[in-house]
Every structure is written in C-alpha cells, then in structure tokens.
Chains A and B, each alone.
Chain A
Amino acid sequence: MPTGLPIEFSAVSKTFGPVTAVDDLSFSVEPGRVTGFLGPNGAGKTTSLRILLGLVTASSGTATIGGTPYHRLPSPLTTVGAALEAASFHPGRTARNHLRVYATAAGIDIARVGVVLDRVGLSEYAGRRVGGFSLGMRQRLGLAYTLLGDPGVLVLDEPINGLDPEGIKWIRGFLRELAGEGRTVLVSSHLLSEVQQSVDEVVIIAKGRLVHRGDLSTLDTDVAPRVVVDSPDRARLADALRAEGLEFSDGRTGLLVSSPDPARIGHIAFMNSLELSALFRQRAGLEESFLTLVGGGELADHDEHPAAPDHAEIPEPTLDAGRTGAAEPAPDPDPAPDPATAPDAEGDDR
C-alpha cells in the first residue's frame, strides 16, 4: 500500500515580470484526507501546483513533498501522481501508448498501463487515438497517468472540469477512495460546489494569497459571521444597537448584525430591558462564504433569503463564465430549479 506524504508550501512566491501570481503562500496538506485547493481562475492555483511539481521555478520559497523538492525525488511517478490539464496528449497517439511512453520513462512495469486504464474505465478505448477523445475521457486518461506509479500523493488540477454528471459522481467516490487508502489528495477547483461533497479540508487562495485554510465544516461559520436578532419592539432594538455602534441591516426575520458574538447582542438587549424573540448566529452558506473570501460575493444582499440553511440548494455561481463556454460546460450536479423556466412553476399564475 502506498504511503501518503505531506505536501508543504512554505513562503512560496512567483512573479512574472510585474505580475505577482503567487504571494508568500504557506500551507501543508496531510495524508489520508482530500484537500480542496480553491480559488477563482487566475488566483494562482495552477502556478502553485506547477511550482510544487518542479515545472515552474518559484521566485522564492520552497514547496516539498515529504520534505523533498519534486526534482530531487528518487522516483517521482511512484511518489506523486499529477494531472495538470486535460490537453497534455499527442492527439495521434493511442491512450495505451500515451501511458506506455511515460511508464517507460519512469521505469514502471508496462502491465500497470492496463490496470490504470481499467481503474478509470477507459479499457475499451485503450487502442483509440486520444485526438478523438471527449474532454471527460481526457480527464480520465489524465487520472490514469497519475495512477501509473501507484503513488501515495495525488495532485489534481481541476479534475472535475468537463466531466458529465455520471463522471462527477464517479470521481467524487474515487477521490474519497484514494484518501481512504491513506494517500494525500490535493484537488484544485474554481467551484466550491464542485468539490464540497468530496473534500475534508479546504485551502482557499485569491490573488495569489492564502485567504482561508481549515476544515470544510467550519468555513461558513468562520467567515463574515453575522447574528440575527429580533424583538417585538424592533425599533427600540435598532436604537440600542446603533447606540453601541454596531452595524446592521433589516431582514425578514430580524436585524442582521455584523458581529460574531450573539452574547454581546444579548447583553445589549438585557441592559436595555428589551424582550427578544430571536437571537442566533447565522451561517452564511458555504458558497457565499467562499465568494466572500475570494472577493467575488456580497453578503449584504442576503435579505431576500435570510433563512438559507441548506447551502446545497444555492445555485452554483460560476466565477468564470467565459471558461466553461470554451470547453464542455461543467454539468450542474445538483441543479436548483429555476422558477422562470421550470414547467411546474406555471401553475402558480393560474
């Protein structure tokens, strides 16, 4: 059984001329878990991963696998499996030959080629030229490449991009399985919703900087927390909050206070002899927290749907709509019904 090794970024920076693509990035990724590496397109995810894999030289800082830089690994493909983009193939080469070329270079038994093609479900296309493959099939072939050396560390850049719903379901289970075997799994994505069902931890970057790191479950309570408070006498409550210098807005279920601490709000109400009908800390929802972190979302327009505890139902905001247009659009795994077009919405008007 392969052993997972920790991945360690320490103070990694990369500048391209005047542009800083990665800015003092430090984090570690532990074995046995699936870690999501998230951020909008252009945040520096791919550059960071390429630095880790020795394809791009960092301007400063180091990225290591089990304490060793990639180019010093004695046997790279049996230590780390990486899939960086869906297009690193010669179109005229068959899937089997593609894998044979790199298995030969890494000294891996050619018998592994059949094993990994089978594992990603491409056996029946092994003899076909890659030029005729769909994006989803290329993603699978990329995964087959990562598994050639049965490595303990997997680094996958946007592996879900271009997969059909069945493929997405498959890869989610696949990632969990790999982590369950004790491997280190680092998966990048620009969509939180794409990976939120399969990752344990998230590392979120924006504009090349680390903005959040931690368990997925704490993401929405750690970010821009707000307290919902209501009283039968809402006007006096508002006065009291204003007197304390707290910022708030009117919501359907009460006042939305920009404060992480319900106890403080309760104290203010108590000191003003106010009766409270509601006092709770609001979860923003994973996707919204994510968008807030990366600077693409606004929590202020939350008033229209203040009670949205089930983040899974929030439609996926695509941060980069232009990209999906170029390739196959990433299928929505859990589409929220659109009231404007859903046929059963017509009944409401009659």
Chain B
Amino acid sequence: MSTLLRAIGSEFLKLLTTRMWWVLALVMTGYVAIAAGGLGAAFGYLSEHPDAARSNGPGAGGGVPTGSGLEVLIYGFATTVGYVFPVLLGALAATGEFRHATLTPTFLATPRRGLVLLAKVKVLVVFGAVFGVIAWAATIAAGAATLGAAGLPTGLDSSDTWALAGRGILAMALWASIGVGLGTLVTSQVATIVIVLAFTQFVEPLLRLAAGFIPATADIARFLPGAASDALVGASFFTINGSTQADALDWWAGGLVLLGYAVVLTVLGYLVSWRRDVS
C-alpha cells in the first residue's frame, strides 16, 4: 500500500475516532432541517391564508412567491445555511493537530509532510460531501414534508432538484477543504473558529448586502466565497431580496472560485506553518 493511501487511512481514523464529526453533523442536521421545515411551513401557511400575507407583510407585497424557486430556496438551505459546518470540521481537524501537538507523532509516522496535508484534504473533502448528503437529505425531507402538506409543489419529481442537490454536495465538499486550508494557515483553534463564524455569519453577508446596491462592487462581491458557493449551487439566501442573483457567476465558475479559495489557503498554510519546525 502506498504511503499516500496509508496516510489517507490514518486521517480517516483520526476523524472517526473522536466525537467531533458526529456532533457537528448532528447540530448541522437540526439547524438546516428546522430552517427548511420552518420556511416550508411558513410558506404553506401563507399560501393557505393569502389574506394574512397581505395584511401583515408590507414587504411581501404581492403575496407568496409560489412555484419554481421556492423549493430551490428551501432545499438550498442545506448548503447556503449549513456550509459553515464542513468549514468548521475542516478547520478543527487541521488546528487540532497543532493544538494537541499531534503533528509530532503524525510526522514521525509519515515524514513527508506535503503528503500528509494532501491526505487530510482528501479525507475532509469526502467528509464534506458526506455532510452535504446529510444536510440535503435533512432539508429535502423537512422541506418536502411541509410544502407537500400545504399542497405546494415539492419539485421532487424534477431532475433539476437532484442536480441542485448534487451541486450543493460538491460545494459542501469544497467548503471542508477550505476549512483545512484556513486551519493550516491560522493554526490557532480559537482564532480559526472566530474567523470562520465572524466571516461566514456576519462579515460576508453584510458585504454582499452592501455591495448589492452598487453595480461596480457587485461585480467584486460575486467572487466572495459565499457568493461563489451560492452560484455553484444555484440557490441563495439572497434571492429573497432579489438584489444580487442577476450578477451571480455561472455555476461552474462559482465552483472554480471556491476551489481556488481552497487551493490558495492550503498552499499558503503549507508554506507558512505546515512545513515549519515542530516543537
């Protein structure tokens, strides 16, 4: 068996032998299922009570946006809301090596460090995809159940929905490798978690919202990682206000931008910290 395959096996064991992965997966599942089920139920309620929508929601204006697009938005929560979990998984897997000084036994067993990092990225890509499968299963189950109950279209019979899920799973896999790259570059576990949460939950949404108002900055904003991810998936939380969707990249371009972030962060992490002295 080659050294790379053995390193990959070792990295799989590392993830599977601590509680982190399933705790994160569990929280993610609950989070995206409640978001998808909740929104599905809300739209279901509004479609059955159109007068309630008119009297209560000045923003809603013309009532419920039914038909194609609604289920895309709801199922898309798996990635558009849940992507922070594979990032955290990747970041924790990378920074844990520094925090617990386990780089020492790791590099003793496999002195080729670049190969170790490559193995870690590959394993996290697989785990990211698994997270994607779990998250999409959760949003489709919760969303389809609530939409179906209200008699709204679920889109489950459409191949577009499953293509959407496939692209969403790919995005989750890429997000996990971005987490590895970021964790390798920053190395401090606490700092990495703060950066991930602050950027994904606060900084980037604000930037995208602000940039959406000015055409010149909107061109730049679509290259932000979250925007690129939304472009890849073809669903965005921002479609609700409808401002940026027109400017989104093609799905494959969004995927390449996301891959670019992963590659740049990982290579930087390798150069800056991974190949440094371990003491």
Query: B6 — which chain A residues lie within 8 A by C-beta?
Result: 104-107
Distance to closest chain B CB from A81 (angstroms): 9
Query: B217 — which chain A residues lie within 8 A by C-beta?
Result: none
Chain A's closest residue to B2 (CB) is A107
For the complex with contacts A50-B277, A50-B279, 18 further pairs of A-B residues with Cβ separation under 8 Å are: A55-B107, A55-B278, A76-B110, A76-B111, A85-B101, A90-B14, A90-B18, A90-B96, A90-B102, A92-B19, A92-B20, A93-B17, A101-B14, A102-B10, A104-B10, A106-B6, A106-B110, A145-B105
Distance to closest chain A CB from B15 (angstroms): 10
Is B112 touching A92 in the complex (CB atoms < 8 A)? no
Distance to closest chain A CB from B271 (angstroms): 14
Q: Is A56 an interface residue (CB 8 A)?
A: yes
Distance to closest chain B CB from A84 (angstroms): 6
Distance to closest chain A CB from B178 (angstroms): 23
Do A46 and B279 form a contact, CB below 8 Å, given A85-B104, A93-B17, A93-B18?
yes
What 1/0 flags go to A182-206 for Cβ under 8 Å of B? 0000000000000000000000000
CB-contacts of B93-110 with A (<8 A): 96, 100-102, 104-110
Which residue in B18, B20, B277 is a CB contact (below 8 Å) of A55? B277
Query: A57 — which chain B residues lie within 8 A by C-beta?
Result: 277
Which residue in A50, A73, A93 is a CB contact (below 8 Å) of B278? A50
CB-contacts of A23-68 with B (<8 A): 46-47, 50, 53-57
**Residue among A82, A88, A90, A101 with the highest chain B CB neighbour number at 10 A:** A101
CB-contacts of B10-25 with A (<8 A): 10, 13-14, 17-20
Distance to closest chain B CB from A6 (angstroms): 19
Q: Is B169 an interface residue (CB 8 A)?
A: no
CB-contacts of B38-76 with A (<8 A): none
Is A55 touching B10 in the complex (CB atoms < 8 A)? no
Is A70 touching B111 in the complex (CB atoms < 8 A)? yes
Query: B14 — which chain A residues lie within 8 A by C-beta?
Result: 90, 93, 101
Chain B's closest residue to A47 (CB) is B279
Q: Is A226 an interface residue (CB 8 A)?
A: no
Q: Is A97 an interface residue (CB 8 A)?
A: yes
Query: B101 — which chain A residues lie within 8 A by C-beta?
Result: 85, 87-88
What is the CA–CA distance of A132 and B29 in the complex, to the nearest angstrom? 30
Is A56 touching B105 in the complex (CB atoms < 8 A)? no
Q: Is A147 an interface residue (CB 8 A)?
A: no
Q: Is B147 an interface residue (CB 8 A)?
A: no
Distance to closest chain A CB from B170 (angstroms): 28
Q: Is A329 an interface residue (CB 8 A)?
A: no
What is the CA–CA distance of A105 and B108 in the complex, to the nearest angstrom? 10
Q: Is A77 an interface residue (CB 8 A)?
A: yes
What is the CA–CA distance of A71 and B17 in the complex, to the nearest angstrom? 27
Query: B13 — which chain A residues lie within 8 A by C-beta?
Result: 97, 100-101, 104
Query: B10 — which chain A residues lie within 8 A by C-beta?
Result: 101-102, 104-105
Which residue in A82, A89, A94 is a CB contact (below 8 Å) of B102? A89
Distance to closest chain B CB from A168 (angstroms): 24
Q: Is A91 an interface residue (CB 8 A)?
A: yes
**Residue among A82, A89, A90, A145 with the highest chain B CB neighbour number at 10 A:** A90
Query: B111 — which chain A residues lie within 8 A by C-beta?
Result: 54, 70-71, 73, 76
What is the CA–CA distance of A145 and B18 in the complex, to the nearest angstrom? 19
Distance to closest chain B CB from A41 (angstroms): 14
The 12 sampled A-B contact pairs (Cβ below 8 Å) are A54-B111, A55-B279, A56-B277, A71-B112, A80-B108, A87-B101, A88-B100, A97-B13, A98-B17, A100-B13, A105-B10, A106-B109
Do A54 and B102 form a contact, CB below 8 Å, given A46-B279, A93-B18, A101-B10?
no
**Residue among A77, A89, A98, A102 with the highest chain B CB neighbour number at 10 A:** A102
Chain B's closest residue to A145 (CB) is B105
Distance to closest chain B CB from A240 (angstroms): 56
What is the CA–CA distance of A77 and B111 in the complex, to the nearest angstrom? 10
Do A89 and B112 form a contact, CB below 8 Å, given A55-B279, A56-B279, A105-B10?
no
Is A102 touching B107 in the complex (CB atoms < 8 A)? no
Query: B7 — which chain A residues lie within 8 A by C-beta?
Result: 105
Do A77 and B279 form a contact, CB below 8 Å, given A85-B101, A101-B13?
no
Query: A101 — which chain B residues lie within 8 A by C-beta?
Result: 10, 13-14, 17
Distance to closest chain A CB from B187 (angstroms): 16
Q: Is B9 an interface residue (CB 8 A)?
A: yes
Query: B277 — which chain A residues lie within 8 A by C-beta?
Result: 50, 55-57
What is the CA–CA distance of A350 and B20 in the complex, to the nearest angstrom? 67
Distance to closest chain A CB from B102 (angstroms): 6
What 1/0 flags go to A111-136 for Cβ under 8 Å of B? 00000000000000000000000000
Query: A105 — which chain B residues lie within 8 A by C-beta?
Result: 6-7, 9-10, 106, 109-110
Q: Is B1 an interface residue (CB 8 A)?
A: yes
Chain B's closest residue to A70 (CB) is B111
Is A53 touching B17 in the complex (CB atoms < 8 A)? no
Do A90 and B100 form a contact, CB below 8 Å, given A50-B279, A56-B277?
yes
What 1/0 flags go to B179-211 for Cβ under 8 Å of A? 000000000000000000000000000000000
Distance to closest chain B CB from A162 (angstroms): 16
Is B1 touching A107 in the complex (CB atoms < 8 A)? yes
Is B105 touching A102 in the complex (CB atoms < 8 A)? yes
What is the CA–CA distance of A85 and B279 in the complex, to the nearest angstrom? 10
Query: A97 — which chain B residues lie within 8 A by C-beta?
Result: 13, 17
Distance to closest chain B CB from A262 (angstroms): 47
What is the CA–CA distance of A333 and B270 in the complex, to the nearest angstrom? 45
